Amino acid sequence: MGQELEQSIPNNETPNLIHNNIASTKTLTIVQPHCFLPKPTPPRNRSSNSNNKNNVSSSNHKNDVVSSTFAKFKFLKQRSNEISSVISRSVLSLKRSIDEQNDSSFSNSIRDVTEFTLSGLKVVVEVKNDASFTFGSVTFFSKSNCRDCSAVRKFFREKRLRFVEINVDVFPEREKELFERTGSSMVPKIFINEKFIGGLVELNAMRINGELEKALTAVSEKCCDGGAPAAPEYGFDEVADEEEEEGEMVRVVRIMRQRLMIQDRWMKMKIVRNCFAGNELVDLLIHHLLCTRVKAVEIGKRLCKKHFIHHVSGINDFVEGNHFYRFLEHEPFIPKCFNFHGATNDSEPKTAAAVCDRLTKIMSAILESYATDDRLHVDYEAIRKSEEFRRYVNMTKDLQRVSLLELSENEKLAFFLNLYNAMVIHAVIRVGYQEGVINKNSFSDFQYLIGGYPYSLSDIKNGILRSNRRSPYSLVKPFGTEDGRLELVLAKMNPLIHFGLCDAAKSSPIPRFFSPDGVSHELRCAAREFFAKDGIEVDLEKRTVHLTPIFKR
């Protein structure tokens, strides 16, 4: 109305004429909103229809919320982009100014602290002073259970040096590099950047003469030129290219998985899941291998012995006829096994002694690197992120079809002691470590697939190591009369095993790993060490002996 009124008045008329012609009207001027403010919108027309009134109001409210949220998000995103671009330009200009200035005093003053201010925002840029690299890059090659390597590691930790340890037992592919650099495979071998220092003797000589501090100080003044040994990276152990002895057996298994009809079947008024009949396997082998029926049955027995297939009722031998079998990966306990990674290991199993040696070396290296010297404190979070633990998890697949019947009593004792302690560490990391608290109740379902059978922590302790004895407050034995795991039960229980088993509790013994040759002596040493470290308390005044809960087992 104000605009129409201004257009209808001639330029030569005065405001008095306006009052004469339209007494009750004043001249109005529309002020445009600021460019950063949202534009005004006309009010929405209200619907006269009472039936649609609620629907229209609710839809309008939703549109208002969506449009308001979108406008806020768009404004914040635009503002964030502007701030980021300003910071980037300021940092780049700061870097160019430092590069262009040759005056050291000016450069040092710029490098200390620099700040610039945006609208309503103050940004302070500080160049990070990485004090962890004060002594340069220190690397040393080591092996598990090496006394000299432990001394070198302890010296570096006392000096609070940041060092990189390359354990050739965990990373066997690095042993070739060690020989090429030093001409020997003996450890420890120490490097400061790309310079080879020597072993423990040379390190002590340099420390006594004061040359070590000079070498570390000189190295800290210059950056490494890339010739230093690289830190361990993601990888796998080297695998020999030789053809496996059981290559034909693996091909037979692959044909079976493709051709056999796997389905649910009825047996003794119950449903058996994911199985096939023995006569179907025999017919398949005769057809594809062009062999006799006797030869096909012999192949079926070898498949059972190698733990490729199992009888659904636990019968160890293969019998032709209407007997039902299933592949190892179809067993109902497989989803609970933490060393099963989607598929079974079809390669020829390694010997149990080789698997035990590999397991012992990797876990010993993990404890040496991520536990205190007294083994009372273990950094499970650091272990979880380490390359050593990843390789241990990959190594556990070798346990799936390993044959343990060839082990002697001492070898079997050391194998299951080491496996129990390794499984406890794995269980803490995977299921039992929640918000910094170890929950041992979740360990009951943690198990491995070993030699074709599932083994929990309780099965190893009470079934194997305690010669199939009942656990406390239990009415049944771990293994039944027809259980295939009875063949591995120790003939005689050694009571000292409780001093070698770590349950990740404060009252339990420290984690350790044993050698097959000296396991009996090492268990006696573990018992003496346990008693020496508050394992028993004698109160002479009250004539009372206080023991830990370990004696209740």
In a domain, residue 177? The reply is yes
Contact between 150 and 368 under an 8 Å Cβ cutoff? The reply is yes
For β-strands 437-438 and 433-434, DSSP reports them as: antiparallel
Looking at the fold, whether 213 and 269 belong to one and the same domain comes out as no
In a domain, residue 64? The reply is no
In a domain, residue 369? The reply is yes
pTM of this structure:
0.72
* pLDDT at residue number 115: 56
* pLDDT at residue number 502: 93
Res. 531: pLDDT tops 80: yes
pLDDT average, residue stretch 340-345: 86
Looking at the fold, whether 308 and 366 belong to one and the same domain comes out as no
* pLDDT at residue number 221: 57
* pLDDT at residue number 136: 54
Looking at the fold, whether 254 and 373 belong to one and the same domain comes out as no
pLDDT cut 70: percent of the chain above it = 70
* pLDDT at residue number 394: 92
Choose one of 184, 204, 221: the last residue of a domain: 221
Lowest mean pLDDT among 77-81, 86-90, 498-502, 506-510: 77-81
Lowest mean pLDDT among 18-27, 29-38, 174-183: 18-27
pLDDT average, residue stretch 103-112: 43
Looking at the fold, whether 300 and 210 belong to one and the same domain comes out as no
Looking at the fold, whether 382 and 516 belong to one and the same domain comes out as yes
Res. 211: pLDDT tops 70: yes
Looking at the fold, whether 149 and 190 belong to one and the same domain comes out as yes
Which stretches within 142-199 are classed as H helix? 147-158, 175-182
* pLDDT at residue number 88: 58
Report residue 245 as tokens. Answer: 């002895």
Give the C-alpha separation, 264 to 268, whole Å: 13
Which residue has 């067993």 as its token pair?
A: 331
DSSP track, 33-97 = PPTTSPPP-PPPPPPS-STTHHHHHHHHHHHHHHHHHHHHHHHHHHHHHHHHHHHHHHHHHHHHH
* pLDDT at residue number 78: 57
pLDDT cut 90: percent of the chain above it = 47
Instruction: Indicate the angle between helix axes 352-370 and 387-395, nearest 10 degrees.
Output: 160
Report residue 108 as tokens. Answer: 């040092």
Give the C-alpha separation, 367 to 385, whole Å: 14
Phi and psi dihedrals of 245, rounded to 5? -65, -35
Counted domains in the chain: 3
Choose one of 203, 221, 239: the last residue of a domain: 221
pLDDT average, residue stretch 75-90: 57
Confidence of residue 222 (pLDDT cuts 50, 70, 90): low
* pLDDT at residue number 227: 79
Lowest mean pLDDT among 53-62, 84-93, 155-164, 270-279: 53-62
* pLDDT at residue number 523: 96
Question: Which residue spans within 442-521 are E strands per DSSP?
Answer: 447-450, 453-456
* pLDDT at residue number 104: 44
Lowest mean pLDDT among 46-60, 326-340, 449-463: 46-60
Give the C-alpha separation, 228 to 192, whole Å: 8
* pLDDT at residue number 127: 52
To the nearest 10°, report the CA torsion of 432, 434, 437, 441: -40
Res. 106: pLDDT tops 50: no
For residue 322, the domain's CATH number is 1.10.10.10
Looking at the fold, whether 379 and 482 belong to one and the same domain comes out as yes
Lowest mean pLDDT among 234-243, 255-264, 288-297, 406-415: 234-243
Confidence of residue 311 (pLDDT cuts 50, 70, 90): very high
Res. 103: pLDDT tops 80: no
Res. 187: pLDDT tops 50: yes
Compute the mean pLDDT over every residue in the chain, rounded to the nearest whole number.
Answer: 79
Phi and psi dihedrals of 453, rounded to 5? -130, 150
Looking at the fold, whether 370 and 496 belong to one and the same domain comes out as yes
In a domain, residue 257? The reply is yes
In a domain, residue 112? The reply is no
Looking at the fold, whether 282 and 431 belong to one and the same domain comes out as no
pLDDT digits (tens, 9 = 90+) for 462-516: 999 999 999 878 889 999 988 889 999 999 999 999 999 998 888 889 999 999 9
Domain assignment of residue 413, given as a range: 352-527
Confidence of residue 527 (pLDDT cuts 50, 70, 90): very high
Looking at the fold, whether 383 and 490 belong to one and the same domain comes out as yes
pLDDT digits (tens, 9 = 90+) for 389-431: 999 999 999 999 999 999 999 999 999 999 999 999 999 998 8
pLDDT average, residue stretch 267-295: 92
In a domain, residue 399? The reply is yes
pLDDT average, residue stretch 317-344: 90
Res. 44: pLDDT tops 70: no
* pLDDT at residue number 359: 93
Residue 152 CB partners (closer than 8 Å, separation 6+): 140, 142, 188, 190, 200, 203
Looking at the fold, whether 399 and 480 belong to one and the same domain comes out as yes
In a domain, residue 108? The reply is no
In a domain, residue 194? The reply is yes
Res. 285: pLDDT tops 60: yes
* pLDDT at residue number 256: 93
pLDDT digits (tens, 9 = 90+) for 120-179: 556 565 554 444 333 457 899 999 999 999 999 999 999 888 889 999 999 999 999 999
Identify which has the larger pLDDT, 400 or 240.
Answer: 400
Looking at the fold, whether 259 and 402 belong to one and the same domain comes out as no
Res. 435: pLDDT tops 80: no
Res. 204: pLDDT tops 80: yes
Handedness of CA 515, 520, 525, 531 (dihedral sign): positive
